[in-house]
Structure 1
Amino acid sequence: MNDAEIRKYAILMQELGLTGLEVTENDRVVRLERTPAAPAAAPVTTVPLPEEPAPLEDRGTVVTSPMVGVFYAAPAEDADPFVKVGDVVRKGQTLCIVEAMKLMNEITAEQDGEITEICAANGQVVDYGCPLFRMKGS
């Protein structure tokens, strides 16, 4: 593996917000690691907590990201989002796109239900297992 290929992987790591990457090529293993950038200090805000949290079974099903990538709520920048809060979706319906390594991966509903919460912001980098949607089964 040459310097240009290593730099390409380093740039990809930065774009996707990865802290580690291991590449195997021709029986050679290259592991790249970087220290994540320190987050900018955000102003502290106080949010009142609800008196009693809803029981877990009342909160519905959580749709999580199956990979690290960038969350997109719509098929194009100027298009309507795939789903909105309150939409009723069917099993197999596209909910969003997660872009990983320049590939657009459609995330689909695994069951029929109603979207009760959108947990990720458009353009946000999401990790594996990060909540994307909360939905109530029908």
Structure 2
Amino acid sequence: MGEQGPEGKGGEPLDVKKVHYLVRLMKQYDLSDLEVTDGPYRVHLQRRGAEAAAAPAFAPAYPPAAYAPPPSAPAAAAPRPEPAAEAHSGPKTIVIESPMVGTYYSSGSPDSPPFVSIGTAVQPSTTLCIIEAMKVFTDIPAGVSGTISEILVKSGQPVEFGQPMFRVIPA
């Protein structure tokens, strides 16, 4: 593990979730090489061939020390896009999918009520949720007009790119 261990300056631990996120992005966009500097850390990821990913290696930007977490579990198969009305005998619905990889939050803070619930009327600019990725919180707008008929994820749940999150009955 090296002389300094997995902590950086000031004893702050490395965030392995960030590295897992970067590895997923590399796979998703078929990148072969990625380098990111985050504070005292420099992360350089390389993939071998088109399918196998090398174990990520960490190196602080100051004296050399390396840290490699255990290889991440194989990514779950990409979610199968569902036809909007499949398995529903009710009105035709529009599926709103996650535009990014991250953690889904239904409200702006733990004390706040959810942005939307079943039966909420939405416009294209209505905020449905927040997705957090690498400590960046992104508001996700509806993009359509209609009424929320189903919420397919729970607050705090990780979501993948293209994963269905909401069903909306169009207005």
Amino acid aligned to 1:127: E
- Tell me the TM-score normalised to structure 1 length: 0.70
1:82 aligns with 2:115: yes
The separation in 2 between residues aligned to 1:137 and 1:105, in whole angstroms, is 24
Alignment of 1:1-138 (within 5 A): 8=14, 10-14=16-20, 16=21, 21=26, 22-24=33-35, 30-31=45-46, 33=55, 34-36=71-73, 53-54=87-88, 58-138=91-171
Counterpart contact for 1:60–1:134, Cα < 8 Å: yes
- Superposition deviation, residue 111 in structure 1: 1.4
The separation in 1 between residues aligned to 2:150 and 2:23, in whole angstroms, is 26
User: What is aligned with 1:49?
Assistant: none
Q: Secondary structure at the match of 1:12?
A: helix
Cα distance change on mapping 1:4 and 1:82 into 2, 3 Å: same
The separation in 1 between residues aligned to 2:138 and 2:25, in whole angstroms, is 21
| Structure 2, unaligned runs of 5 or more | 1-5, 27-32, 37-42, 47-53, 56-70, 75-85
More relative contact order in 1 or in 2 (CA 8 Å, sep 6+)?
1
1:42-72 CA-partner distances (Å, limit 9, x unpaired): xxxxxxxxxx9436x9441111111110000
Runs of at least 4 residues off by over 6 Å: none
- Tell me the TM-score normalised to structure 2 length: 0.57
The separation in 2 between residues aligned to 1:36 and 1:17, in whole angstroms, is 14
- Superposition deviation, residue 29 in structure 1: 5.3
| Structure 1, unaligned runs of 5 or more | 38-51
Counterpart contact for 1:19–1:35, Cα < 8 Å: no
The separation in 1 between residues aligned to 2:150 and 2:160, in whole angstroms, is 18
RMSD: 3.3
1:56-114 CA-partner distances (Å, limit 9, x unpaired): x9441111111110000000001000000001011111000000111001000111100
Amino acid aligned to 2:104: F
Residues paired across the two proteins, number: 118
